[in-house]
Amino acid sequence: MKRVFGLLAAALTCPAADTGATGADWQHYGGTYRSWRYSSLNQINTSNVRKITPAWAFQTGDYDGGLQVTPLVIDGIMYLSTSRNHIYALDAATGRELWKYTYNLPKGYTVFYGPWNRGVAVGHGRVYIGTLDNYVVAVDQKTGKEIWKTNVEDAQQCGCDITGAPLVVKDKVVVGTTGGDSAHRGYIVAFDARTGRQAWKFWTIPGPGEKGNETWSGDSWKYGGGSSWMTGSYDEALNLIYWSVGNPAADFYGGSRKGDNLYTDSVVALEADSGKLKWHFQQVPHDVWDFDTAYENILLDLDVKGRARKLLLNVNKGGYVFVNDRATGEFVSGYPIVKHINWITGTDAKGNLVGRNEPKVGETTFICPAIGGGRSWNQAAYSPRTGLLYTTAIEWCQDVKSMPEDPVEGKVFFGGTFEPKHPRGENAYSHLDAVDPVTGKNKWTVKYKYPMLASVLATAGDLVLTGDPEGFFFALDARSGNKLWSFQTGSGHRGGPIAYSVKGRQYIATPSGWGSAVAGLIAQLWPEAERFRGGSMLWVFALPEEGK
């Protein structure tokens, strides 16, 4: 038995070059630069997952806002960030604390929307984090001591902060900020990983004289949102960084920003060294629904109609998937992941939206899905073994009232209000689906009463793992969707589970800690959700060790 373990360990720590699979480490927010959230480890698999038990657990003590992080593991050390921007380095086999970096927010600091943090990046001997007061900080990977700290822009002025994990690409650390619902002009920024000096800045809204500025009427470009709040992906061969740009502001009222509003609701491909725009694809021209292009960009190499394609898959907040050629930006395919979708009827052959159903100014318009998204920002997983995409989806709607509003810099700029509603004819619910990534063809669906808001992990053990708001962390068979194992972690799930190995032993880790904006919203449809317990704890599971 021991020999089998050894062989497995040897085989599974060497993923093929340039794939999206992780090995012993979980190096980047999305696993690898391709953001598959797929681990090549298979020591824990469909035949033995019922036997896994907690190996260790870690209480962060920083529970306001929950635990939204996807931890990283590099060379047997876990890097874990908490909602108020503290960082822990832990022995990934035992949970022993190696160091803690304590972040001090200014006294009495007003946090936008709420305190949360989704992760760190590691590279060049440093650990990088973006903060609630809009700093990017680098600390020593060995000691946790601060090395540099740069303010991106005063948070009170821009009405923005950093909650997403940075991405280290070559000699730079790239970050995005929130602020899409504020009167603010967004950007994606890269810093010199060594010195903290700003290396490049890509304005997500072009300025006067720049191409694309003509897609904004009047001065609306100055306060047009275009945040960059989640982490991007990177194609090493093409040397392109892919980042998602969020909604235009004001969210629900477009009358004062006539035009397509580039590059909001777009995937942008930026040259890694300069931040120069290579191509863009705008999913939602002139958005009036707050349906950000904000989430992960999953990089896949697949055959489409007999032709090998380099693809990029992105789930729009409106519950619609866009698949593009990632070398050129050309639209390849699109499909909905929710049943209740009425803001569009679909897309044409070029990816243009068809059948736009816009909120009418001064009236109440019933729109599906709700603002929290046909899926929230919690990420999907892709398994090359099954060829399937595993994503959560939420069936819910809302009444939107669109109202004219004047911008005040850095202040909320919504242009209306919304009220979550159940879909016509049935109660709101969520589901976890296995679908063909290019066609959207459904392989299996698992339904659940409340919105599932945690990221998904897929493994070479043919497992799909995620957690629910009631605190259960569970494993499904990747091929059938059958539930194989579940465990009550004590608090709801909003973070990202990962798999890693240390000295040949595979672990599966998950944050547990209910919280977030969308988590707060759901009590409007499910009053009992007010009682869902908060927390901030990391659980780590493994198979029992032989002879112990």
Contact partners, residue 400, CB within 8 Å, separation at least 6:
252, 289, 359, 364, 365, 366, 367, 416, 417, 418
User: Does the protein bind another protein through residue 217 (CB under 8 A)?
Assistant: no
Which residue, 152 or 313, has its beta carbon nearer to another protein?
152
Is 324 strand, coil or helix? strand
Is residue 222 near another protein by the rule CB under 8 A?
A: yes
409 Cβ contact partners less than 8 Å away, ≥ 6 residues apart: 157, 158, 159, 183, 184, 223
CA angle 121, 230, 441 (to 5 degrees): 115
Q: How far is the CB of 472 from another protein (least distance, A)?
A: 23
Confirm if 22 and 34 have CB atoms less than 8 A apart.
no
When asked if residue 503 is in the footprint of another protein (CB under 8 A), the reply is: no
Q: First CA to last CA across the chain, in angstroms?
A: 14
List, as one string, the DSSP characters of 238-250: TTEEEEEE--BSS
* From 142, 201, 360, 447, residue interacting with another protein (rule: CB under 8 A): 201
Largest Cα separation within the chain, whole Å, is 73
Binder of another protein out of 75, 154, 214, 236 (CB under 8 A): 154
* Nearer of residues 137 and 321 to another protein, judged by Cβ: 137
Applying CB under 8 A, the span of 8-16, 383-391, 409-417, 462-470 interacting with another protein comes to 409-417
Q: Which is nearer to another protein, 201 or 276 (CB)?
A: 201
Does residue 148 touch another protein according to CB under 8 A? Answer: yes
Q: Is 239 in the site for another protein (CB under 8 A)?
A: no
> Among residue numbers 458 through 487, which ones bind another protein (CB under 8 A)?
none
Asked if 274 touches another protein (CB under 8 A), the answer is no
CB of 546 to another protein, least distance (A): 45
Contacts of residue 237, defined as CB under 8 A and 6 or more positions apart, other chains included, come to: 18
Alpha helices, DSSP H only, in 407-540?
517-521
Q: Contacting another protein (CB under 8 A), which of 3, 50, 107, 350?
A: 107
The values of phi and psi at residue 124, to 5°, are: 55, 35
How far apart (Å, rounded) are the C-alpha atoms in residues 86 and 62? 8
Q: C-beta of 223: minimal distance to another protein in Å?
A: 9
4, 15 Cβ separation under 8 angstroms: no
Smallest gap from Cβ 73 to another protein, in A, equals 26
**Annotated catalytic sites, by residue?**
290
Check binding of 210 to another protein (CB under 8 A). no
Q: Considering the rule CB under 8 A, would residue 98 count as an interface residue with another protein?
A: no
Q: Are 39 and 31 in contact (CB under 8 A)?
A: yes
C-alpha angle with apex 454: 510 to 530, nearest 5 degrees? 105
| 3-state class (DSSP) for residue 448 | strand
Indicate the residue among 5 and 366 with the shorter CB distance to another protein.
Answer: 366
Q: Does 147 bind another protein (CB under 8 A)?
A: yes
> Is the CB of 353 or the CB of 394 nearer to another protein?
394
Structural contact between residues 242 and 301, judged by C-beta atoms closer than 8 angstroms? no
Asked whether position 211 contacts another protein by CB under 8 A, the answer is: no
Q: Does 419 bind another protein (CB under 8 A)?
A: yes
Q: Name the segment binding another protein (CB under 8 A); options: 334-342, 408-416, 434-442, 503-511.
A: 408-416
State yes or no: residue 294 binds another protein (CB under 8 A): no
Is 197 an interacting residue with respect to another protein (CB under 8 A)?
A: yes
How far apart (Å, rounded) are the C-alpha atoms in residues 194 and 209?
33
Rounded CA gap, 262 and 269, in Å?
A: 14
Segment 509-528, which members bind another protein (CB under 8 A)?
516-521, 523-524
Residue from 3, 145, 350, 548 touching another protein (CB under 8 A): that is: 145
CB-nearer residue toward another protein: 236 or 406: 406
Interacting residues toward another protein by CB under 8 A? 105, 107-115, 145-154, 156-158, 181, 184-185, 195-198, 201, 207, 222, 401, 403, 405, 408-409, 411-412, 414, 417-419, 516-521, 523-524, 530
